[in-house]
């Protein structure tokens, strides 16, 4: 259903550390984000995508939708102020769907 947040679905997944191309310290520092995303959102598509397939798809989608470039094309640049609607409409031109944007409480930024 459109508009439903898919996160933390059951059954709970197990995350397997990737063999990264970076040194071990870098991997330890950076991998918790991957684990968090997979356990929170990957859990909702576990019948269709295992961990490797999930991240492979996520990286393809990241390359397909260059959101920063889309915002720049709409004259929206980091460090300046814009309305929620301006950002919403710019992102929608790239994805062709209503983006799931939220204001961060107590901070002048969007998620």
Q: How far apart are CA 52 and CA 45, in angstroms?
A: 12
Select from 18, 97, 83 the least CA-distant residue to 75: 83
| Bridge partners, residue 111, by sequence | none
Highest-pLDDT range among 32-36, 41-45, 88-92: 88-92
Whether the pLDDT of residue 77 is over 80: the answer is yes
Q: How far apart are CA 25 and CA 10, in angstroms?
A: 31
pLDDT attached to residue 80: 85
Domain boundaries, the chain: 1-64, 65-105
What integer best gives the mean pLDDT of the chain? 79
pLDDT attached to residue 43: 83
pLDDT attached to residue 97: 87
Q: Find the mean pLDDT for residues 22-48.
A: 75
| Bridge partners, residue 103, by sequence | 110
């Amino acid at each position: 259903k459109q508009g439903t947040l898919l996160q933390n679905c059951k059954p709970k997944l197990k995350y397997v550390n990737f063999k990264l191309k970076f040194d071990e310290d870098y991997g330890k520092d950076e991998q918790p984000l991957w684990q968090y995303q997979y356990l929170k959102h990957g859990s909702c598509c576990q019948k269709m995508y295992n961990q490797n397939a999930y991240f492979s798809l996520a990286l393809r989608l990241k390359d397909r939708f260059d959101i920063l470039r889309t915002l720049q094309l709409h004259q929206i640049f980091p460090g300046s102020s814009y309305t929620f609607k301006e950002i919403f409409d710019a992102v929608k031109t790239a994805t062709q769907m209503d983006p799931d944007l939220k204001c961060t409480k107590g901070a002048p930024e969007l998620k």
